[in-house]
Structure 1
Amino acid sequence: MEYYKGLINSLQRGVVSPVYLFYGEEEYLKEKAVEKFKEFLLPQAADFNLDLLDGEEADIDTVISFAENMPFMAERRLVIVKNAPWFSGKGKNEAGGEDKGSGKDTVLLKYLNNPASTTCLVFVAKEAVDRRKKTYKEISAKGQVIDFKMLKPSEMITWVNQIVKGTGKTIEPSAARAIVEANGKLGLLNLKNEVNKLISYLGSEQEITSAIVGEVGVINIEQNIFTVVDDAVAGHTSKALNGIRELLSLKEQPTKILALLARQLRIALQAEALLREGSPEREVARKMGIHDFVIKKALTQIRRGGSQRMKWALQEIATIDAAIKKGQRDFLPAIETMLIQFGQME
């Protein structure tokens, strides 16, 4: 969370760059940062010096036009472009080099070479960025690029404690850990919603305990999928089947369950492939853009289950999904058969 604290500290001291690029998985902190820019850079009731654009709708010429406008009776304009698409790797040619024909990049690079000193232009990327692109490098040189990484579990626990303390309540350390383990991988917004729900449930009570988390905390579907895969690779087929039935009882759609099962298997296989290629385990999460404890869990699963069994299960899930969509198979008996076969494989 130090990257966020450093950014806000700079704003408080009046140190503002002409251009920023925000990217990364932690959407909640990105939104908070955007709000802080509005708070610190614009005087009260100065919305006429604020432009909010959607990069999926506005072209780069429009963005530059707004950025080049002069502020009205103020020191600075603020232009925020959400869903900015000009920093991903999609513009690469087949050899992996930059797309030389990108007129959009040329227009943006021309502006970035000499950005308006009276405008703070903030790009919020929707997708992963390619740090090899000239647009990325130019913003790094002329402004600031900030990777809004998912927080470490220990940082999330500290954050949960701060949120609870701010309400005048307390929380058991084990309860804070349980909330983070169940919901942390979906980010701080999800955690905040869970904490708010628990605070409301407390009423006049003072402390959130592990027992209360167990009663009220909702274990999200992705956590349940983790558990199903854990049980399957450990040979606990009946527990894995019960996990699937529990998801169905919670009205989760079969197609969603299959998609998340497939996603977890792909994460495990991709992580193992990176290890085989020589990437240190600590680098795998960064390369895949996934939280480190998710990768650790996935690697544990594939070590227990074996890559060949995982590949078979991934292919079987695709087969089941196609058959269900064609009306040829029913979800529950199909997934039960798959899990039983998986458990019997050597």
Structure 2
Amino acid sequence: MEYFKGLMNSLERGTVAPVYLFYGPEEYLKEKALEKFKEVLLPQAADFNLDVLDGEETDPSSLVALAENLPFMVEKRLIIVKNCPWFKGKNKGKSEEDEEGKASGKESSLLRYLKNPAPSTCLVFVAGDAVDRRKKLYKSVEAAGKAIDFKLPRDAESIAWVVGRMKAAGKKIETAAARALVGGNGNLGLLNLYHETEKLITFAGEAGEVSLEDVRQISVTNVEENIFAVVDETVGGNPVKALAGVKDLLARKEQPVKILALLARQVRLALQVDALLQEGCPEREVSKKLGLQDFVARKAMNQARKSHPRKLQWALEQLAAMDVAIKKGQQDFLPALENMLIQFQLSKEY
């Protein structure tokens, strides 16, 4: 979370750029950053100098006119544009020239503004997970201010955050409990961990410590963690336990198509990790190269080591064929998956 700490430190020092772009999957830290902007820039007269807009409903030219207004009784005004769609990638099927032309026509006033943004306005765009860094608008924001990728924290950072949050609430959490909480929920971001820690704090009541058993009783195990377990049992030679895990997912109303997609993703990750390791990539760099959290990369490493890449490739092909057959009504999900798990176990190599 160094990017977040760096942003907080710059705001504390009073170093504020005229324009920012927040993007990436970490929503909790985005909201914390926006709160800090309000605290630093608008200690008073906030009602007169704060505008929060919906990018889906805002015209760029209207935004520029608003940004050029002078603040009232303070040094800066703050404009936050949420759900901002202008930084997304190009539409499929359209040429780059078509898209650039469209962008230039619709957003030309905003591009002109970003060449010389008003020093008395701080403009913050909040986009979704992905942006297109090739777009003129992205490059203009980067040149005039800062574009910040709000990445999900690594598992070590998330564990430290959980421990700190519990400490602030007057609780101590066992190391194993913090690891289990992050292992089951960390890949959904800090907002999800915030809600999970809130439940644990309430559950603990007057008790001063949160245990591993508390986490197991109260915290929600997410779907991806169940998928990890299913693949673990599969490559570990336990098809019965693997199938039991799939049945548990079905009991939780997860759709077969989603389960297949997540299984295929995990097998693909194991293959990608195996390929990197075979190329001589150090283990510590695998997560960075694939853009994964540390615990996800470690899971994939363990699964790759327990199986053979040809078997994993076979499983990936079977899952793809199964997906097509199920959608066409040619196979039933559970019997088809059970048959595949048994074949995977019986085969020595593919």
TM-score (normalizing by structure 1): 0.87
Which structure 2 segments of 5+ residues have no match?
none
**Structure 1 residues 14-68: Cα deviation after superposition (integer angstroms, max 9, x where no partner):** 2211001112222211121112212322244623422222333434333323322
Is 171-180 or 137-146 further displaced after alignment?
A: 137-146
From 166, 171, 177, the equivalent of 1:169 is 171
Determine the structure 1 residue equivalent to 2:227. Answer: 225
Which structure 1 segments of 5+ residues have no match?
none
Distance 2:270 2:65 in 1: 45
Code of the residue aligned with 2:25 in structure 1: it is E
Q: CA deviation at 1:281?
A: 6.0
Distance 2:254 2:116 in 1: 52
Q: Does 1:290 align with 2:292?
A: yes
Q: CA deviation at 1:120?
A: 0.6
Distance 1:276 1:89 in 2: 33
- Structure 2 contact 44–74 (Cα < 8 Å) conserved: no
Determine the structure 1 residue equivalent to 2:259. Answer: 257
Code of the residue aligned with 1:66 in structure 2: it is L
Q: CA deviation at 1:295?
A: 2.9
- Structure 2 contact 45–73 (Cα < 8 Å) conserved: no
Distance 1:97 1:227 in 2: 47
Q: What secondary structure does 1:56 align onto?
A: helix
Code of the residue aligned with 1:140 in structure 2: it is E
Q: Does 1:149 align with 2:172?
A: no
From 185, 188, 199, the equivalent of 2:187 is 185
Q: Does 1:32 align with 2:3?
A: no
Distance 2:95 2:46 in 1: 48
- Structure 1 contact 112–138 (Cα < 8 Å) conserved: yes
Determine the structure 1 residue equivalent to 2:14. Answer: 14
* Aligned counterparts, 1:56-67, within 5 A: 56-67=56-67
**Structure 1 residues 122-157: Cα deviation after superposition (integer angstroms, max 9, x where no partner):** 112213234444433333332122222222222211
From 190, 201, 204, the equivalent of 1:202 is 204
Residues 1:99 and 1:306: Cα distance change in structure 2 (over 3 Å): farther
Code of the residue aligned with 1:54 in structure 2: it is D
Q: CA deviation at 1:188?
A: 0.9
- Structure 1 contact 91–98 (Cα < 8 Å) conserved: no
Residues 1:325 and 1:100: Cα distance change in structure 2 (over 3 Å): closer
Is 126-135 or 336-345 further displaced after alignment?
A: 126-135
- Structure 1 contact 221–247 (Cα < 8 Å) conserved: yes
Is 218-227 or 144-153 further displaced after alignment?
A: 144-153
Distance 2:229 2:98 in 1: 42
- Structure 1 contact 85–127 (Cα < 8 Å) conserved: no
Aligned length: 346
Identity of aligned residues (%): 59
Q: CA RMSD in A?
A: 3.0
Determine the structure 1 residue equivalent to 2:82. Answer: 82
- Structure 1 contact 93–99 (Cα < 8 Å) conserved: no
Distance 1:271 1:135 in 2: 35
- Structure 2 contact 80–123 (Cα < 8 Å) conserved: yes
Code of the residue aligned with 2:40 in structure 1: it is F
Distance 2:159 2:270 in 1: 26
Residues 1:298 and 1:85: Cα distance change in structure 2 (over 3 Å): farther
Distance 1:64 1:341 in 2: 62
Code of the residue aligned with 1:19 in structure 2: it is V
Q: What secondary structure does 2:226 align onto?
A: helix
- Structure 2 contact 45–72 (Cα < 8 Å) conserved: no
Residues 1:276 and 1:127: Cα distance change in structure 2 (over 3 Å): farther
- Structure 1 contact 28–188 (Cα < 8 Å) conserved: yes
Q: What secondary structure does 2:56 align onto?
A: coil
- Structure 2 contact 23–130 (Cα < 8 Å) conserved: yes
Determine the structure 1 residue equivalent to 2:117. Answer: 115
Q: CA deviation at 1:121?
A: 0.7
Q: What secondary structure does 1:127 align onto?
A: coil
TM-score (normalizing by structure 2): 0.86
Distance 2:77 2:91 in 1: 30
**Structure 1 residues 271-323: Cα deviation after superposition (integer angstroms, max 9, x where no partner):** 55667788776565445443243234324434443444333333333333344
Is 282-291 or 29-38 further displaced after alignment?
A: 282-291
